[in-house]
Amino acid sequence: MTLLPTPAIHVRNLTKRYQDRAVVQDISFALAAGETLVLLGPSGCGKTTLLKMLNRLIEPDSGSIEINGHDIRQENAAELRRSLGYVIQQVGLLPHYTVAENVAVVPKLLKHKPEQIAQRTQELLTRLHLPPAQYAGQYPRQLSGGQQQRVGIARALAADPPIVLMDEPFGALDPITRAAIRQDFRELDELRRKTIVLVTHDVQEAFELADRIALLNGGQIQQMDTPRELLFRPANDFVRQFFAAERLALQLRVLCLADVLPFLPAVPAATEEAPTLPATASVQEALELLSGAPGSQVGISGTNKRVDLSGLMAGFERALAAAAA
Ligand SMILES: Nc1ncnc2c1ncn2[C@@H]1O[C@H](COP(=O)(O)OP(=O)(O)OP(=O)(O)O)[C@@H](O)[C@H]1O
């Protein structure tokens, strides 16, 4: 008999009411360690309420939550919150603390050793593109919104919590800063190992970051699945409609070169070396590479195939039909 690993987060029949209205209704899901779950849905659908029940900022009316197999009601709420990373849109940095002091708040409460805290702070600030020599001693008001948000992420990761909860972490930023931080976020090695629950109402962001998306409406999960399944196998009309406006952009992101590969027409070998992308790269990434240089080709690493822009688009159309079949 094989034993299934204990989910990092296990939510069962969770319901929260305000007056007579259930804003979260009978929600259940299990999340494996290392998964990134994005809670997506229109304003007021219950995303933040659901997230805040995970760290007991809000108590449910019924249902249960287990974290690593332990019912969180049995734990001290303050201790629970210290053990989980939490990033919010308003950042919430302490204005009279320097950047380094802000990052160190939770590790200090957890009584980590000062040298260990200093080293971790340096490491995180460096990785989040805030060179400590320049930024560690600055105060939040001296930083841009994007830099403050990076400090917020460093602070949430400082004590190396295995689970991180994020509520619209990039929500207050302009689109360019937002895209840059998202890129860094994806490249941060240690985040890949963490279990993350992230709230957003930005569909592109959800598709970029999620292993699975829980699409909510009216306090209920309409569908919880991979981005690809949500797009190609919507469970109901709400799901279908929710992605309708951005369907093409999402399809370009979800389909990768491996999907297109079987349909690629033969392309005469280029004389000069073509840049290459892995088969896991999205059609969108290949498109970005090719659209800058008309007539150019991109090679797919590990294969002897290359593709130009028109070949890519023809392959994409056929891959789309195959994915939807
Ligand atoms: N303390 C409260 N008292 C009464 N109603 C509340 C309270 N908190 C939230 N609600 C209601 O519960 C519903 C869900 O709120 P929630 O903040 O979880 O939604 P959301 O999906 O995160 O929305 P948004 O994307 O706008 O932040 C909303 O209709 C909200 O008005």
- pLDDT tens per residue, range 161-178: 899 999 988 877 777 777
- What confidence score (pLDDT) does residue 226 get? 96
Q: Looking at residues 15-27, what average pLDDT do you find? A: 95
18 close to ligand 1 (CB < 6 Angstrom): yes
Nearest-CA residue for atom 29 of ligand 1: 44
- Cα(155) to ligand 1 centroid in Å equals 26
48 close to ligand 1 (CB < 6 Angstrom): yes
Kindly tell me if the per-residue pLDDT of 49 is higher than 70.
yes
Nearest-CA residue for atom 2 of ligand 1: 18
- The count of C-alpha atoms lying within 13 angstroms of the C-alpha of 43, restricted to the half-sphere facing its C-beta, is 0
Atom of ligand 1 nearest to the CA of 49: 18
- What confidence score (pLDDT) does residue 246 get? 92
- Cα(301) to ligand 1 centroid in Å equals 47
Across the chain, which distance is largest between two alpha carbons, in Å?
70
Q: Looking at residues 90-109, what average pLDDT do you find? A: 89
H or E element at residue 195: strand 195-200
- What pTM did the predictor assign? 0.89
Kindly tell me if the per-residue pLDDT of 79 is higher than 80.
yes
- What confidence score (pLDDT) does residue 269 get? 56
Q: Looking at residues 189-197, what average pLDDT do you find? A: 87
pLDDT digits (tens, 9 = 90+) for 263-304: 886 665 555 677 889 999 999 999 988 887 767 888 888 887
- What confidence score (pLDDT) does residue 267 get? 60
- What confidence score (pLDDT) does residue 271 get? 52
- What confidence score (pLDDT) does residue 115 get? 93
23 close to ligand 1 (CB < 6 Angstrom): yes
- Cα(87) to ligand 1 centroid in Å equals 18
- What confidence score (pLDDT) does residue 2 get? 62
Residues ≥6 apart with Cβ < 8 Å to 66: 7, 9, 10, 12, 72
Kindly tell me if the per-residue pLDDT of 222 is higher than 60.
yes
- What confidence score (pLDDT) does residue 173 get? 74
Give the rounded percent of residues in the chain with a pLDDT score beyond 90: 57
Kindly tell me if the per-residue pLDDT of 52 is higher than 90.
yes
Write down the number of H helices and E strands in the chain. Answer: 16, 13
Model confidence band, residue 181 (pLDDT cutoffs 50, 70, 90) = confident
45 close to ligand 1 (CB < 6 Angstrom): yes
Beta strands, E only, 32-159: 36-40, 62-67, 70-71, 85-88
43 close to ligand 1 (CB < 6 Angstrom): yes
Note whether 38 and 94 are within 8 A (CB).
no
Atom of ligand 1 nearest to the CA of 219: 14
Q: Looking at residues 299-323, what average pLDDT do you find? A: 88
Kindly tell me if the per-residue pLDDT of 4 is higher than 80.
no
Model confidence band, residue 46 (pLDDT cutoffs 50, 70, 90) = very high
Nearest-CA residue for atom 31 of ligand 1: 44
Model confidence band, residue 88 (pLDDT cutoffs 50, 70, 90) = confident
Nearest to 230 by CA among 253, 198, 200, 261: 253
DSSP assignment, residue 132?
H
Cα separation, 297 vs 276, in Å, equals 9
Q: Looking at residues 13-35, what average pLDDT do you find? A: 95
Burial 123-147 (b: 16+ CB within 10 A, else e): ebbebbebebeebbeeebeebeebb
- What confidence score (pLDDT) does residue 265 get? 67
Between 169 and 200, name the one with better pLDDT.
200
222 close to ligand 1 (CB < 6 Angstrom): no
Residues ≥6 apart with Cβ < 8 Å to 246: 203, 204
Listed range (40-49, 76-85, 277-286) with the worst mean pLDDT: 76-85
Question: ipTM score here?
Answer: 0.97
Kindly tell me if the per-residue pLDDT of 259 is higher than 90.
yes
154 close to ligand 1 (CB < 6 Angstrom): no
Residue from 47, 54, 216 whose mutation best tests the ligand 1 pocket (most atoms within 8 A of CB): 47
- Cα(24) to ligand 1 centroid in Å equals 9
Highest mean pLDDT among 39-43, 176-180, 305-309: 39-43
Note whether 309 and 290 are within 8 A (CB).
yes
